[in-house]
Every structure is written in C-alpha cells, then in structure tokens.
Copies of this chain bind each other. A is one copy, B any other.
Amino acid sequence: MLRLLGSLGRSCCSSAKSGFKIQPSCISKIWFGPMPKDSNWIKPGRLHYIENDVEKQVDIIKTIDGVVVILYNKAREKLIFVRQFRGAVYQGIHSAGSPDMSKGEADLEQFPPEVGVTLELCGGAVDKDKSLAEIAKEEVLEECGYEVPTESLQHVYDYRSGIGTSSSAMSLFYCEVCDAQKVSAGGGIGEERIQVLEMSLEESRQLVQTGATTNGGPSCLLGLLWFFQHKAPKVLA
C-alpha cells in the first residue's frame, strides 16, 4: 500500500510541479485479461545461454523500435509535448498496490484513468520501411500537426530501451518548428487520442529539476536535459 500511494503521489506531484492540470478522462472502463498468443505488439520468448559453463536463462519480449522528437517552437520559446493514456503505466501503478489484481475490472475510483496519462515527447513506432528521420517527421505531423522537412530533424542519440526485458532500438531527434509549419491540430491518427501540449521553457525546466518525478519515460527527461544543455537560450540553460 505504501508503494501504491507512492506511485500515485508521484503522478500528482509531477503535474502540480509542472503547472498543468490533468483533465477529466474520456475513459469509462478498464479491465485486464490474458494476452493472446498472436499479439501484434509483444512477442514473448526465453533466451538461453551458457556463460562460464553455467546455463542461464532470461525471459524477454520482442517489441517495436521507436523514435522520439524534442520539438521546439523557437520563435515562441515553447517546447511541445504530448499526453496520452498508457495502458502499461496504468497497469504498473494499479498492480503496484494490488499485485493479485492482474485480471478483472480495474477500480476507477481508487485508480482513476488519469494516473495512466503520461507526459511525453512526440514519438512513435518504427513500423514502416522508411528512414528513421522520415518516420520521425511523420510522427511530428500526425501527433503535433507540424509539417517539417526531413532535414530539420537533428539526430541526438541512439540507445536501447528496456534493456532488461525488451530492448527495442530508440532514436532521439531534435527539431525546431515555427507557427507557419502548423498545418493541423495533430492528436494522432485513426483511434489515437493524443493531446498536444505546449510548455514554456521555465515550466519545462521544472520537469527536470533534481528530485523531479514523472509517470512518463526516461526519454522525455533525457531529451529535456539535452535541450537545456545545447539549445535553450543561455539565460535559462
């Protein structure tokens, strides 16, 4: 229970610190069940190996590679984020306090859907036969509504996520945009419900102050630290 409260506290704390409020969710029901064998997203497996004559195993999943984009509207000095409901985050927080509740309906009073709403940088899956920069460019348009040339995507880092269990290849980019490139509202494609959010540099800097907490992933913190070190106006870096 202590850990559960800790997790909830983290999310609330983060929102309060960053100055934006979590909006009412449009999610009316959440429930858990078994993963089907033909999942499109996750392929589980076991890797066996012999190290120093000792046989070892590790259970792993194959997931999809991804791109992440630090998006900066330079003229207006705003960083652009996305928010969305992440089932894995919701489940992680939900199961921390009640590890036996892996199946059945979630308790939305104790765990409102908002605890699974993350603050992230723009990004998406590498699920097309295109260059990473082209995929990043498409995500910038689909999620945030900016039409940018591929050349404006600066490569920042390549790394692997979830190295203990999944290890997809991740590529982080930086991209400056201007209002003239804003061609749509963004928000994702199809059934995606992604909220676009602009933050001032001062608000963004609070997200990465020492001691900060987020229910988003490390890529957002990483991208922000890199931005403040390399791109932010010096008075704020």
In the assembled complex, the Cα of A167 lies from the Cα of B28 at a distance in Å of: 22
Name the one of B91, B214, B229, B230 contacting A159, with C-beta atoms under 8 angstroms: B214
In the assembled complex, the Cα of A88 lies from the Cα of B58 at a distance in Å of: 8
**A212 at interface, CB cutoff 8 A:** yes
Decide if A92 touches B27 in the complex (CB within 8 Å).
no
**A49 at interface, CB cutoff 8 A:** yes
Instruction: Other than A28-B50, A28-B53, A162-B217, give 19 A-B pairs with Cβ distance below 8 A.
Output: A30-B48, A30-B49, A35-B46, A42-B61, A61-B165, A62-B91, A66-B164, A89-B167, A154-B210, A157-B211, A158-B213, A159-B213, A161-B161, A161-B162, A162-B166, A163-B217, A210-B230, A218-B218, A218-B222
Decide if B221 touches A163 in the complex (CB within 8 Å).
no
Given contacts A35-B59, A61-B42, contact A85 B218 (CB under 8 A): no
**A187 at interface, CB cutoff 8 A:** no
Decide if A32 touches B46 in the complex (CB within 8 Å).
yes
Decide if B193 touches A51 in the complex (CB within 8 Å).
yes
Decide if A88 touches B216 in the complex (CB within 8 Å).
no
25 A-B pairs with CB atoms under 8 Å apart are A3-B169, A26-B52, A28-B53, A31-B48, A31-B49, A32-B47, A33-B48, A35-B45, A35-B60, A41-B58, A42-B59, A43-B102, A47-B91, A52-B193, A54-B191, A62-B102, A88-B166, A118-B163, A157-B214, A157-B221, A159-B217, A162-B162, A162-B165, A162-B166, A210-B230
